[in-house]
Amino acid sequence: MVALMANPTVRAATMAIHNFFRDLYPAPKQPSSQPRKSKAKKERLFTADDLKKYDGKEGSKGLYLAILGRVYNVKKGKDHYGPGGGYEFFAGRDGSRAFVSGDFTEEGLIDDIRGLTSTDYIGLNDWVKFYDKDYKYVGKLIGRFYDKNGDPTPYHTEVQKWIAEAYDVQDNDNQEKKMFPPCNSEWNPDTGSRVWCTKRSGGVARDWVGVPRKLFNPGKGQPRCACVKDSGPPSHDPTRTNHDNRGDLDNPNILEYTDCPPDQPECMIKPSPSLHLTPACLASQCNTKYSHDQKF
């Protein structure tokens, strides 16, 4: 099973199935767990050794998993989390990092989530919301996120800060995409990439088409293709009356594509022997092979 899950294609497919079944099999109401409880909130507290006894195997006490230190009864999902299930490796432990990394090896099934991306932190928060909604919450895991009294640790406080910052980044990204919608794109190994703009390109409905440009963002590495408004006032000052009717063309973070008509909504980017132009790095001078985002 671990060997299969190491394959990126298998991993992506299986996690997509997991996402489907998590909505299909909501957990039933479960009776209260036995007493080792925190004084303040009357919650059960688990040590790592306690939680191992709930891995669903023969002779175990039940079927529990933890994420971000929160423990859930996932008995209803035993076909998936129990022995022989596609996600049995989550049972009896806190493998928070693997929920977004897709690394289901022993090295990947850990609760340390330091250094993840903003998208990953939001993804983890979404998983917690899912388990809160569809499964029985039974207590907390003593360790990285909660202390022996069930109180949040300094690491837990850091995690909440990372999640909040991730949502701030998401909000900023959403605002940027409204101002600079992503281009439509297609890629052919022989002819290269074609990028073009419409009034709905990038999934952003608007009353202008725009022209393709490279958009550079400080700290984000490679630029992306953006449809840039090419008439009227600039987007950051839409009520300005004394403007040059150039829209956002004078924004310092954009650059024209070489050998493309600057006033046309479409651009062909020819392949270079030293470059592998792909939809993932549209004409951004990158050298990567074609790949799909395999996060779940």
Please state the rounded mean pLDDT for residues 223-237.
Answer: 91
pLDDT tens, position by position, 275-295: 333 333 333 333 332 322 222
Q: Model confidence at 140, in pLDDT bands (50, 70, 90)? A: very high
Q: Is the pLDDT of residue 156 over 90?
A: yes
Q: Is the pLDDT of residue 138 over 60?
A: yes
Task: Looking at the structure, give the CATH architecture of the domain made up of residues 2-166.
Answer: Roll (3.10)
pLDDT tens, position by position, 91-125: 999 999 999 998 999 999 999 999 998 889 999 99
Query: Considering the entire predicted model, what is its pTM?
Result: 0.57
Percent of the chain residues topping a pLDDT of 90: 58
Residue intervals in the chain for CATH 3.10.120.10: 2-166
Tokens of residue 105, six digits: 């090896």
pLDDT tens, position by position, 185-216: 998 878 888 999 999 998 889 999 999 999 99
Q: Is the pLDDT of residue 181 over 60?
A: yes
pLDDT of residue 30: 42
Q: Is the pLDDT of residue 35 over 50?
A: no
Please state the rounded mean pLDDT for residues 154-172.
Answer: 94
pLDDT of residue 17: 53
Q: Is the pLDDT of residue 172 over 50?
A: yes
